[in-house]
């Protein structure tokens, strides 16, 4: 598994992919947090990172499928997936290696935003006047969210040989899992009876709960089971290619 992980990471940073993803993420979140008047912390004058954690899921919705789309689609198209299939390595190891490599890239994109936290912490009046618990919770929630997106991206990449299709499917599925249930719960037929129950299927419900700094094991279990589900599905699709 480790050799796959290493190989994937070196592909990201051996090509422009890694730098572009990190660069775009940081430029955009930087602009929104510090420059754009509508959302800037400096204009808003409250010591909070809400604009980052509100924006990040939308950015991930596009950036993560962009990095995961090639994972299996490209390898399957080039025949290198078959090369891996003839080596003594299980599908699980391939899937996990790729999963952690993609997640690591996302982590590298998110880590520098800790500078934003430090700046706000220093700028607070009095100094340090920021809800650190909520920020920590939000970061953890954000990483769980990214992990789910990566798992979904890998799954859709395994479904097809075409990267563009993998990209589009991944965006659609991620969007649906994140916000879709929320929208469904608002259908009048469910209103007042099922809406709360349906909302709990979506990421949004759990992400918001984590962002408040509330560390609920049910949220963690939700994210973990969602990740495992998509990784198992990916594994299943890969295994099917051998029959």
Partner 1 sequence: MSVRIKNLTKTYGDQVVLDNVSFEVGKSEILGFLGPNGAGKTTTMKIITGALFPDSGEVVVSGFDVFNNVTEVKKRVGYLAEHNPLYSDMYIKEFLLFIAGVYGIDDKNAKVKELIELTGLTKEQNKKINQLSKGYKQRVGLAQVLLNDPEVLILDEPTTGLDPNQLKEIRALIKSTGKDKTVIFSTHIMQEVQALCDRVIILNDGKIVVDDRIESLGDNVVTKTKSVFVQFDEIFDIDDLMKLDTIKAANAIEAGIIKLDGDDDYMMRKEIFSFAKTNDYTILSMFKEDIDVENIFSKLTH
Q: Which of 37, 45, 79, 189 binds partner 1 (CB under 8 A)?
A: 79
Q: Does 19 bind partner 1 (CB under 8 A)?
A: no
Binding residue for partner 1 (CB under 8 A) from 24, 89, 184, 220?
Answer: 89
**CA–centroid distance for 70 within its chain:** 16
Segment near partner 1 (CB under 8 A); pick from 7-15, 58-66, 157-165, 199-207 = 7-15
- Enumerate residues 6+ apart whose C-beta is below 8 A from 118: none
DSSP assignment letter at 240: H
User: Which listed residue (38, 86, 126, 218) binds partner 1 by CB under 8 A?
Assistant: 86
Q: Is 11 in the site for partner 1 (CB under 8 A)?
A: yes
Q: Which of 24, 55, 84, 232 binds partner 1 (CB under 8 A)?
A: 84
To the nearest 10°, the Cα dihedral for 139, 158, 90, 239? 130
Residue 189 in contact with partner 1, rule: CB under 8 A: no
- The reply on whether position 236 binds partner 1 by CB under 8 A is no
Q: Are 202 and 175 in contact (CB under 8 A)?
A: no
User: Residue 14, interface with partner 1 (CB under 8 A)?
Assistant: yes
In the complex, minimum distance from the CB of residue 223 to partner 1, in angstroms, rounded to a whole number: 30
Burial of 156 (0-12, 13-18, 19+ CB in 10 A): buried
Write down the least CB distance from residue 95 to partner 1, Å.
Answer: 14
* Distance of alpha carbon 47 from alpha carbon 171, whole angstroms: 32
């Amino acid at each position: 598994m480790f050799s796959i992980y290493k190989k994937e990471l070196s592909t990201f940073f051996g090509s422009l992919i890694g730098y572009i993803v990190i660069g775009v993420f940081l430029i955009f979140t930087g602009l929104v947090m510090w420059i754009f008047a509508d959302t800037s912390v400096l204009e808003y004058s409250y010591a909070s990172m809400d604009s980052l954690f509100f924006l990040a899921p939308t950015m991930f919705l596009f950036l993560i499928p962009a990095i995961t789309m090639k994972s299996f689609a490209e390898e399957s198209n080039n025949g290198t997936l078959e090369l891996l299939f003839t080596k003594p390595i299980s599908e699980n190891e391939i899937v996990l290696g790729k999963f952690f490599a993609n997640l690591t890239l996302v982590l590298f994109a998110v880590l520098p935003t800790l500078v934003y936290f430090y700046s706000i912490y220093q700028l607070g009046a009095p100094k340090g006047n920021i809800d650190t618990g909520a920020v920590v919770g939000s970061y953890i929630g954000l990483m769980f969210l990214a992990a789910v997106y990566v798992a979904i991206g890998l799954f859709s990449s395994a479904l097809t040989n075409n990267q563009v299709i993998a990209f589009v499917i991944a965006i659609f599925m991620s969007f649906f899992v994140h916000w879709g249930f929320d929208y469904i719960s608002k259908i009048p037929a469910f209103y007042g009876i099922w809406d709360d129950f349906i909302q709990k299927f979506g990421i949004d419900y759990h992400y918001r709960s984590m962002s408040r700094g509330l560390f609920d094991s049910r949220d963690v279990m939700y994210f973990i089971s969602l990740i495992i589900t998509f990784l198992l599905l990916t594994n299943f699709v890969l295994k099917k290619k051998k029959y």
